[in-house]
């Protein structure tokens, strides 16, 4: 079996729909985390990624993509 890398989101274990990924912040701590949630019914599956280096990397990539999208110079 070949190992493939795809951009496909993981699927809900209940209904097999793709999961949505949302960036959020903790209510008390304010620390960012990524929430994976079933896009058909949020009660099916909800998962949280809190590993700080991973979340910071995702946030950095999102900020860079937004700057490129909005035509903001990168300071060079």
Q: Helix (H, G, I), strand (E, B), or coil: what is residue 52?
A: helix
pLDDT reported for residue 49: 93
pLDDT 10s digits, 6-56: 567 789 999 999 999 888 888 888 888 999 999 999 999 999 999 999 998
pLDDT reported for residue 43: 93
pLDDT reported for residue 74: 56
pLDDT reported for residue 3: 42
CA dihedral 8, 4, 61, 39 (to 10 degrees): 20
The C-alpha atoms of residue 39 and residue 17 are separated, in whole angstroms, by: 7
If phi over 0 gives left and psi between -120 and 50 gives alpha, with beta otherwise, what is residue 71?
left
Exposure on the CB side of residue 22, measured as CA atoms within 13 A: 13
Work out the pLDDT band at 69, boundaries 50, 70, 90.
confident
């Amino acid at each position: 079996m070949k190992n493939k890398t795809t951009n496909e989101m993981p699927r809900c274990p209940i209904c097999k729909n793709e999961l949505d990924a949302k960036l959020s912040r903790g209510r008390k701590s304010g620390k960012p985390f990524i929430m994976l949630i079933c896009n058909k019914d949020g009660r099916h599956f909800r998962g949280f990624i809190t590993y700080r280096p991973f979340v910071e990397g995702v946030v950095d990539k999102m900020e860079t993509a937004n700057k490129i999208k909005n035509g903001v110079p990168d300071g060079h």
